[in-house]
Amino acid sequence: MASSLTTSSTGIPEYEKTFLGHPRGLATLFMTEMWERFSYYGMRALLVLYLVSGGVDAATGSQGGGLAMTAATATAIYSVYVSMVYLMAMPGGWFGDRVWGARKTVAIAASVIMLGHVALAVPGQAMFFVGLALVAVGSGLLKANISTMVGHLYKDADDPRRDGGFTLFYVGINLGAFFAPLVIGTVGEKVNWHLGFALAAVGMGLGLAVFLAFAKTLNPKSSEVPNPLSPEERKAVLTKTVVVVAVAAVFYGTVVALGMYTLNWAMVPITLAGLIIPVAVLARIKRDKDLSSGEQSRVTGYIWFFVAAAIFWMIYDQGGSTLSLFADDKTASTIFGFGFPATWYQSLNPLFVMALAPVFAWLWLWLARKNQEPNTIVKFAMGLVLVGASFFVFIVPMNMAGDGTKVSPMWLVTIYMIQTIGELCLSPVGLSVTTKMAPQKYASQMMGVWFLAVTAGDCTTGLLSIAGVDLNGTGIIAMEAALAVLAGFAIWMYRKKVQNLMGDVH
């Protein structure tokens, strides 16, 4: 990461090109996010398997000591948990914009995540759900703000390095995600579940240490509060928060006292909120009279990307639930005579990302020089069609395993590879286009809105599971696949209309 005070042929000072041609602060955020993702994906790789462990839906010969839940309940909890992580990104962005600033919010969030993993390391169902809640809250606070801080490293939306910077940041995410199932997954699945969760806490601790030690490399703008609360607003927010908490406490206290409480009393409201809140937030931003006509138009155009992303993540995030359970119970656990834990399948996606992300970053730049790079709309359409195609492929091994046959691991390798290619067309580009299209007043909050698309997708999956829909059935898999492909064609057909709404953003 050498630096220089000379000026390059592009007019960009060489001292800014200290991490693979990008500002040095990208390395700090890269490492922080890598360790945070190590903790998150390690825990996520264990989650569904831990929930079914000891129950009727656990794979034959698997380790006991889990919560002995059914596959349907485990899938619902997993979907609600993941949706909560991304749902909390919205208030996380709000805190960054109006209370603490992005940098302070990230530091506090990392501490909360670490405490959450420590709670998961303590045996007992009560501590398990406390840990899940803390990790969800902390991850939400961190996600929107750390991505916004990447945007702060670049002077304007037209910086040619911007998309490449987000792609490299995405590599950091997936580097942590790759090693997590191999380390945390193996220890948790084969040695002790709670020891695995403890390793996740260590990972987050390392990420926090890196962030605090190298904070000086970040843009000072990340410490600013763009739109601070006035004293009157602070009082109003505090009052509303106290009222909401009090009402929830009284309501759930009554339900428990009457002996009526079940897990669905918590999961159903959360999943419904995950579908309602994104719509309400986008509507509120769209109605804001402080926005210029250009910002209003871009928000309208952004809705197209939001819906497309929600459909994409609805399928993609089943890699940790539907595909994970299929890997554990119906897929052979050996290849070329080498046996491995089912959690290792969770490393396939980040492995493919690390292998292909540099290729895609180079490809987009090469096509841009030739004025042939697909615009954001076309990239989104490609991502949707590919994720739909992956589930059409999934139908084949599902039918093969219907008679109890263990299918080849190569089926899941293929499915994860197709999904990864689709992800690289949609996700890093979506992060970048969000920072470009966000009204200045909602800089961090719009990044939270982007993550709410994941919430909407996962809440849809959660509601289906709660309603008793068998997500392992070929019928529902085929319907999801068809929906994604049709959505991809729809956004492609209306690409000119969407581009007009985007204005000068490409």
- The CA distance from 55 to 293, in Å, is 57
pLDDT of residue 112: 95
**Whether the predicted pLDDT of 17 surpasses 90:** no
Residue closest to 118 by CA, chosen among 195, 198, 193: 198
Residue 46, Cβ neighbours under 10 Å: how many?
29
Which tens digit of pLDDT belongs to each residue from 108-155? 999 999 999 999 999 888 899 999 999 999 988 898 788 888 888 887
Which tens digit of pLDDT belongs to each residue from 37-81? 999 999 999 999 999 898 887 777 777 788 888 888 888 899 989
Which tens digit of pLDDT belongs to each residue from 253-281? 988 888 887 777 888 888 888 889 888 88
pLDDT of residue 64: 79
**Residue 13 backbone phi and psi in degrees, to 5:** -55, 140
Stated pTM of the model: 0.84
Indicate the DSSP class of residue 317.
G
Say which CATH class 18-266+275-502 falls into.
Answer: mainly alpha
Locate tokens 């530091």: which residue? Answer: 107
Locate tokens 């004025």: which residue? Answer: 371
**Whether the predicted pLDDT of 180 surpasses 90:** yes
Average pLDDT over residues 409-416: 95
pLDDT of residue 94: 82
Residue ranges per structural domain of the chain: 18-266+275-502
Residue closest to 429 by CA, chosen among 475, 374, 392: 374
**Whether the predicted pLDDT of 12 surpasses 50:** no
**Whether the predicted pLDDT of 10 surpasses 50:** no
Average pLDDT over residues 152-168: 74
